[in-house]
Every structure is written in structure tokens, then in C-alpha cells.
Copies of this chain bind each other. A is one copy, B any other.
Amino acid sequence: MDDAAQQEPSPPLAGMRVIELSSFVASPLGGMTLAQLGADVIRIDQVGGGPDIGRWPLAPSGHSLYWAGLNKGKRSVTVDLRSPEGRRIVARLVAGSGEDGGIVLTNAAPRGGLAYDDLRAARPDLIHLRLLGHRDGRNAVDYTVNAELGFPYLTGPESHDGPVNHVLPVWDVACGLYLATGLLAAERHRARTGEGRRIEVALYDVALATAGNLGYLAEAQLCDTPRPRLGNHLFGDFGRDFATADGEPVMVVVLTGRHWRDLLAATGLGEVAAALERAFGADFGRAADRYRHREALGGVMAPWFASRTRAEIERDLGDASVLVARYGDLAGLTRDDAAALRSSPLMDVLDQPGAGRHLAPGPPLVFDGRQVPPRPAPVLGEHTGEVLRELLSLSPGEVDDLRARGVAGEPAGPAPEAGRTAAEAGRAGGR
């Protein structure tokens, strides 16, 4: 062991083993978050892949970049989940691994032998997390939940009539992180008491809880005036986009009195604002008044922004506390050999089997200043033999027999050339 390795503390979830039966975003993201913190997360799929194996976006090679992105750092096992023998293998994987095992993360409908009660019978301290659409079992996905909650009528230009969907599956992302949180909370409880827990999270509940936590639901219940569609305005303070001299709009956000004073000082509009305060009987030191008079204030400021390039705006507001950002685009992040991405310590070159080399994010949770580099997603079924030998003590011949009968799968694609990240291979060379 060399010096660097000795200094490296073990990852926080070292030893934990999670059996994941999942697909699409939320449940895989929950598992990946744990894998990035050091857990051994084994994703189980039907031989040939789950319903998300080909989900867009795709690499030019046809490999799913979505699947690769959401399963980084896991091991992949494929079995025939339609056969009782395949399901028995999964149940044995769940039951094993001693005090670090017995943890299941799933968004799949339970199949015979893999229902909670079946698994718990073999493992009384089972920790079982299940993601549902609605709590009563009805199906739902991010885009239907978002429609139901009503956010599409609050999103988009003020002049627009119909609903505007979000493009990011935000409820899926939140759900995945709730699953990771819930799993760790349950594991803490088990470590202290020996008791397992059954945890359920519904996508709709996560959206409803978030709407409540942010005050939307209480506002709708207690206030007579419904919240209007606000276009690009910030609700409850002064924030909006401004056009600039070089056609690159900026987003400006004021959230405190200091932000506001700094913005007035930088734009030289203090006297105009004071006159407006007298005219309106307003106090722009207060967020409420900045919000109420957002149209007037925005109109007064628009010429200052419109007469400057983005670079000039950034220069002139450089020392101000007010928040300013350009509107970027994904193409811009990857322009010029992805200079913007390469400049982020979060990103590292990943050699993703099938998809090719690209910059991918490590975990955004940075422990003790050490950015963990991303690890590739497995090839579907890549670790089937390894896991069956290691965890179930099957012999190579027994694994071959399971494969010959279609109960266990083969790796479905090209084997990773080295399974190493660019960082491991030498960071300088990799970027």
C-alpha cells in the first residue's frame, strides 16, 4: 500500500451492500448516489435489460447515455426474473452479506418470491425501500405528477395560455434522493436496534410534500389571490431576465436589502428608485415592495442592461452582492473541446463502454476536499458471474449451467477495456 492509499479514508458507505431492482430515473439515482458514497450497489435486471435499457438520449453508437448516466459505479447482474429459479437467486442475494446486506431498493412491482413478506421471512432485519407512483399503487411518472400538481400553469411566458411542462424530471430526482436518505436513516436504526424497516415513497407524495414545504399549498389555502403565472420574474422579490447589448440575456436576482442597495449603486439608479418610492409610497428596502413594483423597477433598469454587453455587466456588477448569471446552453458547455466542463473539478473523463469517452460528473458531495471521480456504468450483466460466485459461492460450472439454461445472463455488450477512469490512469493525461 503506497502513501496515497494510506491517506485516503475509506468511503463513508464502505461495506454496505444494496440490491437494486429498478428502472428509469428515481430508484436508479438513489442507488447510484449510494454507490458514489462507497456502497456496493448491485442492479438486477431481466436478461436483455429492463424497460430503460434503450432510453434516450443515445450515443452515436446507440448506447443509452441515460442508462449509463444513472447507473455509474454499480455492478450489473442479469437473471430471468420471469422464472422462479431466477427469482430465487435474487432472494438469496438479498438474504446474504451479513450485517451489511439485506437492503433492497426497488420501483418494480413485486414478483412471486420477491415480495416484501417473502424477503423478510428469510431476512428479519430486511431494509426494503419501494418507490410507487401514487401511494395507493396507481401508476404515475414525473410528467403526469407535475401536470396534476399544476406547476405547468405557473411556468412560461405570462402571455401564454396553456400548460408548460418542465423538461427536467425534477420529481424523479427528488425521489431518488429521498430514497437514499430514507435508506441511510433505516440502516442507522438497524445498526442501533437490529430492526429492519419497510419504507415506501410515492412520486406524487414527493411532489405534494415539496409543494407544501415551499409554501405553495398553504398559500393556496390561506390566501384569496391565487399565485399568477410570472414569466421569468422571481416570486416575492426582484428577479428577472434582462436583454443585453450583445444578445445574451442575463438573470438578475435580489434576495436581500444589501443585494438591492448594491444593484442601485452599480447601476446608478438610486435617485430614480428613491423618486419611485415617493411616488408609489413604497419602500424598496422591503422584498414585498420590490416584488409589487417589479414591472416599474424592471422597466427602469432595462436600458442599463440593454446598453451593455454581458462582459460589461459582469464587470460593472463584479463587486456587488446582487446575483447575476448569463443564460448558457448545453452546447456552450461543450464548445471549444468542452473547456467549460473541463474547468469544473466535478467532471472527469469517463471511458464508458459502448458509449465512448466523455466528461462525466463525480458525486457533488465532496468529502474532506477530495473529489471522487466518476466510475463507469457497468455493461448490462457484466458482473453476473462474479456476483454469483462471490456472494452465493456458486462454482464456475454452476454459473455456466445457469447461463446455458437462460436463468442467468451474459454480459450484453463490449466488456470495458480497463474499467478504469481517466483519473486512475493518470489525471493529467486523461483531460
A residues apposed to B, CB below 8 Å = 9-10, 12-14, 16, 24-25, 29, 32-33, 37, 51, 54-60, 64-66, 68-70, 72, 135, 139-141, 143-145, 147-157, 160, 162-170, 173-174, 177-178, 180-182, 184-189, 191, 193, 195, 197-202, 205-206, 208-223, 226-227, 230-232, 234-237, 239, 241, 249-251, 253, 255-256, 287-288, 291, 321, 323-334, 338, 341, 344-347, 352, 355-356, 358-369, 374
Q: Is the pair B182, A155 in contact by a Cβ cutoff of 8 Å? A: no
**Residues of chain B lying within 8 A (CB to CB) of residue A239:** 143
**Residues of chain B lying within 8 A (CB to CB) of residue A147:** 241, 250-251, 325-328
Q: Is the pair A197, B249 in contact by a Cβ cutoff of 8 Å? A: no
**Residues of chain B lying within 8 A (CB to CB) of residue A10:** 189, 193
- In the bound complex, CA of A65 to CA of B221 (Å): 11
Q: Is the pair A347, B214 in contact by a Cβ cutoff of 8 Å? A: no
Q: Is the pair B29, A332 in contact by a Cβ cutoff of 8 Å? A: no
**Residues of chain B lying within 8 A (CB to CB) of residue A156:** 155-157, 160, 164
User: Do A206 and B364 contact each other (CB < 8 Å), given the known contacts A144-B324, A163-B249, A325-B144?
Assistant: yes
Between-chain CB contacts (< 8 Å), 7 pairs: A56-B237, A69-B214, A70-B215, A144-B251, A155-B167, A201-B366, A216-B330
Q: Is the pair B361, A222 in contact by a Cβ cutoff of 8 Å? A: no
**Residues of chain B lying within 8 A (CB to CB) of residue A29:** 213
Q: Is the pair A164, B232 in contact by a Cβ cutoff of 8 Å? A: yes
Residue of B208, B211, B236, B327 near A150 (CB, 8 A) is: B327
Q: Is the pair B198, A56 in contact by a Cβ cutoff of 8 Å? A: no
Residue of B188, B287, B359 near A55 (CB, 8 A) is: B287
- In the bound complex, CA of A415 to CA of B226 (Å): 29
In the assembled complex, how far is the CB of residue A160 from the closest CB belonging to chain B, in whole angstroms? 6
**Residues of chain B lying within 8 A (CB to CB) of residue A24:** 255
Q: Is the pair B199, A66 in contact by a Cβ cutoff of 8 Å? A: no
Residue of B nearest to A250 (CB): B147
**Residues of chain B lying within 8 A (CB to CB) of residue A148:** 325-328
**Residues of chain B lying within 8 A (CB to CB) of residue A230:** 167
| Supplied contacts A37-B185, A57-B227, A178-B364, 8 more A-B pairs, CB within 8 Å | A12-B185, A37-B182, A60-B223, A141-B255, A144-B325, A164-B164, A177-B181, A205-B364
Q: Is the pair B369, A213 in contact by a Cβ cutoff of 8 Å? A: no
Q: Is the pair A222, B355 in contact by a Cβ cutoff of 8 Å? A: yes
User: Do A347 and B212 contact each other (CB < 8 Å), given the known contacts A12-B186, A217-B360?
Assistant: yes
Q: Is the pair B325, A140 in contact by a Cβ cutoff of 8 Å? A: yes
In the assembled complex, how far is the CB of residue A333 from the closest CB belonging to chain B, in whole angstroms? 7
Q: Is the pair B188, A325 in contact by a Cβ cutoff of 8 Å? A: no
- In the bound complex, CA of A73 to CA of B352 (Å): 44
**Residues of chain B lying within 8 A (CB to CB) of residue A206:** 364
**Residues of chain B lying within 8 A (CB to CB) of residue A197:** 9, 12, 367-368
- In the bound complex, CA of A330 to CA of B212 (Å): 11
Q: Is the pair B323, A208 in contact by a Cβ cutoff of 8 Å? A: no
Residue of B135, B149, B235, B327 near A153 (CB, 8 A) is: B327
- In the bound complex, CA of A9 to CA of B367 (Å): 32
Q: Is the pair B366, A200 in contact by a Cβ cutoff of 8 Å? A: yes
In the assembled complex, how far is the CB of residue A205 from the closest CB belonging to chain B, in whole angstroms? 4
**Residues of chain B lying within 8 A (CB to CB) of residue A189:** 9-10, 12-14
Residue of B nearest to A190 (CB): B12
- In the bound complex, CA of A396 to CA of B422 (Å): 60
Interface centre among A60, A205, A361, A365 (most CB of B within 10 A): A365
- In the bound complex, CA of A141 to CA of B156 (Å): 20
**Residues of chain B lying within 8 A (CB to CB) of residue A216:** 57, 330
Q: Is the pair B59, A222 in contact by a Cβ cutoff of 8 Å? A: yes
**Residues of chain B lying within 8 A (CB to CB) of residue A345:** 135
- In the bound complex, CA of A208 to CA of B362 (Å): 10
Q: Is the pair B57, A215 in contact by a Cβ cutoff of 8 Å? A: yes
Q: Is the pair A255, B51 in contact by a Cβ cutoff of 8 Å? A: yes
Q: Is the pair A201, B253 in contact by a Cβ cutoff of 8 Å? A: no
Residue of B nearest to A62 (CB): B288
